[in-house]
Amino acid sequence: MRAVEAFRETFGAEPQGVWRAPGRVNLIGEHTDYNDGLVLPFAVPWGVTAAVSPREDGVVRLRSLQAGGTPTFESLEDAEGWARYVAGVLWALREAGHPVRGVDLVVDGDVPRGAGLASSAALEVAVGTALNELYGLGLSKMEVALAARRAENGFVGVPCGILDQAASALAEEGKALFMDCRSLGTRNIPFDLAGHGLRLLIVDTGVRHDLTDERYARRRQDCENAAKRLGVASLRDVTDLAGALGRLSGDERRRTQHVVTENHRVEALIGLLRAGAVREIGALLNASHLSLRDQFEVSCPELDVAVEASVRGGARGARMTGGGFGGSAIALVPDERVQSVRESVTGAYAERGWAAPEIYPASPSAGARRLA
Ligand code: GLA
List pLDDT tens digits, range 119-177: 999 999 999 999 999 999 999 999 999 999 999 999 999 999 999 999 999 999 999 99
Catalytic residues: 164
Task: Output b/e per residue, 295-330; b: 16+ Cβ within 10 A.
Answer: bbbbbbebbbbbbbbbbebbbbbbbbbbbbbbbbbb
Secondary structure letter of residue 354 according to DSSP: P
Gap between the Cα atoms of 22 and 118, Å rounded: 8
Q: Check residue 80 and give its pLDDT.
A: 96
Indicate if ligand 1 lies below 6 Å from the C-beta of 322: yes
Indicate if ligand 1 lies below 6 Å from the C-beta of 164: yes
Instruction: From 32, 160, 296, give the residue whose CB has the most ligand 1 atoms within 8 Å, as the site to mutate.
Output: 160
- For residue 103, give the 3-state DSSP assignment: strand
Indicate if ligand 1 lies below 6 Å from the C-beta of 149: no
Q: Which atom of ligand 1 is nearest to the CA of 30?
A: 12
Gap between the Cα atoms of 191 and 188, Å rounded: 9
Instruction: From 120, 158, 163, 168, give the residue whose CB has the most ligand 1 atoms within 8 Å, as the site to mutate.
Output: 163
> In Å, how far are 205, 206, 289 from 209, measured between CA atoms?
11, 10, 18
Transcribe 120-146 into DSSP letters: HHHHHHHHHHHHHHHTT----HHHHHH
Residues in the chain, pLDDT under 70: 210-212
Transcribe 63-92 into DSSP letters: EETTS-S--EESSGGG--TTHHHHHHHHHH
Q: Check residue 113 and give its pLDDT.
A: 85
Beta bridge partners of 320: 329
Q: Check residue 85 and give its pLDDT.
A: 97
Q: Check residue 209 and give its pLDDT.
A: 76
Backbone angles phi, psi at 39, to 5 degrees: -140, 160
CB 164 within 8 A of CB 151: no
> In Å, how far are 30, 140, 179, 325, 363 from 38, measured between CA atoms?
9, 21, 6, 21, 21
- End-to-end, the C-alpha distance of the chain in Å comes to 10
The domains of the chain are located at 2-190+366-370, 194-362
Domain 2-190+366-370 has CATH 2.40.50.140: no
Q: Check residue 211 and give its pLDDT.
A: 62
Reported pTM: 0.97
Transcribe 226-291 into DSSP letters: HHHHHT-SSGGG---HHHHHHT--HHHHHHHHHHHHHHHHHHHHHHHHHTT-GGGGHHHHHHHHHH
In 3-state terms, the chain is what percent helix, strand and coil (to 5)? 45, 20, 35
Q: Check residue 114 and give its pLDDT.
A: 86
Class of domain 194-362: alpha beta
CB 225 within 8 A of CB 234: no
Instruction: From 33, 40, 320, give the residue whose CB has the most ligand 1 atoms within 8 Å, as the site to mutate.
Output: 33
Q: Check residue 313 and give its pLDDT.
A: 98
Residues 6+ apart with CB under 8 A from 239: none
- For residue 61, give the 3-state DSSP assignment: strand
Q: Ligand 1, atom 9: nearest CA belongs to which residue? A: 161
Q: Which atom of ligand 1 is nearest to the CA of 29?
A: 12
Backbone angles phi, psi at 30, to 5 degrees: -105, 135
Indicate if ligand 1 lies below 6 Å from the C-beta of 33: yes
Gap between the Cα atoms of 320 and 180, Å rounded: 21
Indicate if ligand 1 lies below 6 Å from the C-beta of 323: yes
